[in-house]
Amino acid sequence: MAVRNLDAGRNVKEAILNEINGAKIDVMQLDLSSMPSVRKFASEFQSSNLPLNILINNAGVMATPFMLSHENIELQFATNHLGHFLLTNLLLDTMKLTARESKRERKIVNLSSKGHRMVYGEGNPFDHINDESGYCPRFAYGQSKLANIFMLMSFQGV
């Protein structure tokens, strides 16, 4: 499990282990709003030599006031899309190798919502990523979810 808060992640791990005897769970820290954190996580995961058949991108923030990530990117877009995009790209070769060695299909799953329908109405919705003056929390959330849909479409057949 990739978690932002290690203590909370360890508590969830213990709860799962209490319910599922013999479950194998690793907990590693990951903050998807921080690209250095994503790179560090991917490097540590690859160094662990653990297999990776399924990647479930589920982290996100919603309808936050205008804030920038450490890299000066609107927080919802950085967390909900760019973090997932970078993580997926960094782990794709590991997924391909695991699929080849295990002879099992690989899957990338992005959990989402109908939020992709709520985007800025004029022009390209991605022109407004860091525009504080016209910022709308719902539309910013929507553009991050729309970007995830485009990302998954680009991975079709990869």
38-118-109 Cα angle (round to 5): 40
- CA dist 78 and 76 (Å) reads 5
Out of 40, 135, 136, 152, pick the active-site residue: 135
Decide if 115 contacts 135 (C-beta within 8 A): no
- CA dist 125 and 115 (Å) reads 13
135 given a catalytic annotation: yes
> Exposure pattern of 74-102 as b/e (b: 16+ CB <10 Å)?
bbbbbbbbbbbbbbbebbbebbeebbeee
Active site members = 135
